[in-house]
Amino acid sequence: MSPLAIGLVGAGGIGSTYVEVLGQLDEAGLAVVCDLDRDLGTSVAAANGAVFTDDYRSLAGVDAVIIATPPATHPDVARRFLRDGIPVLCEKPLAIDIPSARSMVEEARRSDTILTMASKFRYVPDISTARSFIRSGTIGEVVLYENTFASRVDMTDRWNAVSEISGGGVLIDNGTHSLDIARYLLGPIAQVLAIEGHRVQDVAVEDTARIFFTTEDSVAGTIDLSWSVNKERDSFIEIYGSEGVIKIGWNASSYRLDAADEWVQFGHGYDKLEAMTAQVRNFVGAVNGTERLLIEAADGIASVAVVEAAYASLNSPNWIVVAQETDTDRVVA
């Protein structure tokens, strides 16, 4: 089977990691680079034997596309390719609101074309192993869940802090990962409550937030997010069950049963390149018909729905129920 010719829309930021991933795959390669920054785009294209264009509407000659542009641009860019039957891997979040996300999924359905949202943490082996432990009842019934993505990053001059482009602040930026991981491990989220922390950076969006949530199975969870404080912890996820605890860490993961004295290590932690390589391989396999997508288009909408509910609660003293939509045109959040 010939390698897939991949078009990359957005060569900066996370796009540069996709370039690195594609450079080491046998089953796919970078064919076209699209970026508004001509200097950057032509440099990346030349270094990888690819063609350059500064207009995604003129991008042609590819088997599939990876979209790594800011969130507000995702719907227009994705629909352009989906209309032509070109599979799309779109960076998270799928879109900045539910109607936009649905429009992308509807276009994919009309053209019977693959659409998936990038969510690299689902491809971390430690997280998938933890999920198997949860499902097998290794730690009993899950009671409490904690996740922390908090490290100091200056966002004052970045598009991530411009809500018209990004959809908000740290809640949608880091929180999209957090809430997707929670859904993957624990199942549908029933309700959320988000609280903004003290704003440190000179930005017009939240730079620190805490999310409380409960799942349909009554698991209580908290998520701490920040661009402005470092929470230096060995583990970024802790899952507390009735019979034990799982810790998913940056450098190693382990679990301990209440009946045992020692921790049992089961993984080597988080490796960004490894996770994103597995993500692209899954996408390529789905395009080739040899694998099933780990993240389907419906998951993308569900992720947007939970984030949107969290933002609704940010301006309210009340918990916000996440609508669980189950008809053929809508999905479970």
Residue 103 included in any domain: yes
Residues 269 and 252: beta-carbon distance below 8 Å: yes
Report which of 18, 50, 15, 12 is spatially closest to residue 280, judged by C-alpha positions: 18
Task: Report helix, strand or coil for 34.
Answer: strand
Query: Are 102 and 194 in a shared domain?
Result: no
Query: Are 175 and 65 in a shared domain?
Result: no
Query: Are 62 and 148 in a shared domain?
Result: no
Query: Are 156 and 22 in a shared domain?
Result: no
Query: Are 148 and 170 in a shared domain?
Result: yes
- Which CATH number is 14's domain given? 3.40.50.720
Residue 331 included in any domain: no
The answer, yes or no, to whether the previous bond of 75 is cis (omega within 30 of 0) is: no
Burial zone of 327 (CB within 10 Å; 0-12 exposed, 13-18 middle, 19+ buried): exposed
Please name the residues in contact with 218: beta carbons below 8 A apart, sequence gap of 6 or more.
none
Residue 18 included in any domain: yes
Residue 295 included in any domain: no
Residue 281 included in any domain: no
Strand order, beta sheet including 64-67: 51-53, 28-34, 4-9, 64-67, 88-90, 115-117
| pTM above threshold 0.85 | yes
- Indicate the number of domains in the chain: 2
Query: Are 69 and 108 in a shared domain?
Result: yes
Vertex 267: Cα angle to 263 and 269 (nearest 5): 110
Domain region containing 127: 121-275+303-321
Q: Are strands 64-67 and 28-34 parallel, antiparallel or unpaired?
A: unpaired
Query: Are 105 and 128 in a shared domain?
Result: no
- Which CATH number is 190's domain given? 3.30.360.10
Please name the residues in contact with 227: beta carbons below 8 A apart, sequence gap of 6 or more.
151, 152, 153, 154, 155, 169, 170, 173, 174, 201, 207, 208
Residue 133 included in any domain: yes
Query: Are 109 and 141 in a shared domain?
Result: no
Query: Are 29 and 97 in a shared domain?
Result: yes
Strands (E), 250-319: 253-257, 264-267
Residues 96 and 167: beta-carbon distance below 8 Å: yes
Residue 166 has a CB neighbour count (10 Å cut-off) of 21
Dihedral, 298, 301, 302, 307 alpha carbons, nearest 10:
160
| Boundary of a domain, candidates 118, 143, 174 | 118
Query: Are 133 and 37 in a shared domain?
Result: no
| Boundary of a domain, candidates 118, 140, 168 | 118
Residue 333 included in any domain: no
| Boundary of a domain, candidates 118, 142, 161 | 118
Per-residue DSSP letter, 233: -
Residue 292 included in any domain: no
Q: Which pLDDT value is given to residue 324?
A: 67
Query: Are 106 and 25 in a shared domain?
Result: yes
Report which of 136, 222, 133 is spatially closest to residue 175, judged by C-alpha positions: 222
Regions of the chain with pLDDT less than 70 = 324-333
Query: Are 33 and 169 in a shared domain?
Result: no
Report which of 70, 62, 80 is spatially closest to residue 12, judged by C-alpha positions: 70
Dihedral, 21, 14, 66, 267 alpha carbons, nearest 10:
50
Q: What CA–CA distance (Å, rounded) separates 186 from 217?
A: 8
